[in-house]
Amino acid sequence: CLSRSIFNALLGKVNPEDYAEIRKFKHVDTEMASSLQFVLDNDLGEGGELLGLFFTATHEVNFSEVPLRPGGDSIPVTNDNKEEFVKAKCHYHAYLACKNQLEQVRKGFYEVIPLSWIRFFTVDELETFMCGLQTIDLADWKAHSETRGFSSYIKSLTLHRFWQIMATYNQEQLGRILQFCTGTSRLPLGGFAELESQRGQKAPFCIQKVAYDDSKGPNG
């Protein structure tokens, strides 16, 4: 939905030092966090020669090199200072590079919803309220689904196999199926009972039988 740094900003809980922790930075940029974890976990060689990194970050707009400390463009990242480098890199990309934008987002949001209305929310609660449920309950999905075009016998056999297969999927896979069918991998606060169409009308998940031709595949 949105980066957790945005929800922190909306709640007025921005602590710049928090963004120096790689475990929290993973919520901001998973790919970069993985690269930085590689730096922490591996030997950089004498003087950092194996990776050739310096105390700089790349500006996301003009792609210029931004020093992470005075003279950073001439300070190599070594085994001795790599932890400092990773913290500085996380801090820059998660906070310094976007703090002005975060402030503008906050101002615009508060014009619609004052901070006093949400100040008692946790980050997780606000994320759920704004973006929907992230955990998919398969029993809830099954209970609030409809079927069309099945005879009673075929209906029970086909659906049994369908839900049997669905039960083998993890949350990420279920989310992908939900996104393929509905356009979003998250659910309204009321779960599957509250699914809506793009027009705002109730639209239960539906499993519909279609004609099948071995030579042409599903059609109609």
Q: What are phi and psi of 190, to 5 degrees?
A: -85, 5
pLDDT of residue 220: 46
d(CA 212, CA 218): 4
Map residue 211 onto helix, strand or coil: strand
- Lowest mean pLDDT segment, chosen from 79-88, 95-104, 108-117, 137-146: 95-104
pTM for the predicted model, two decimal places: 0.54
pLDDT in tens, 146-157: 888 887 756 678
Tokens of 137: 């309950």
pLDDT exceeds 50 at position 7: yes
Q: Structural domains in the chain?
A: 4-131 (3.30.2160.10), 138-219 (3.30.2410.10)
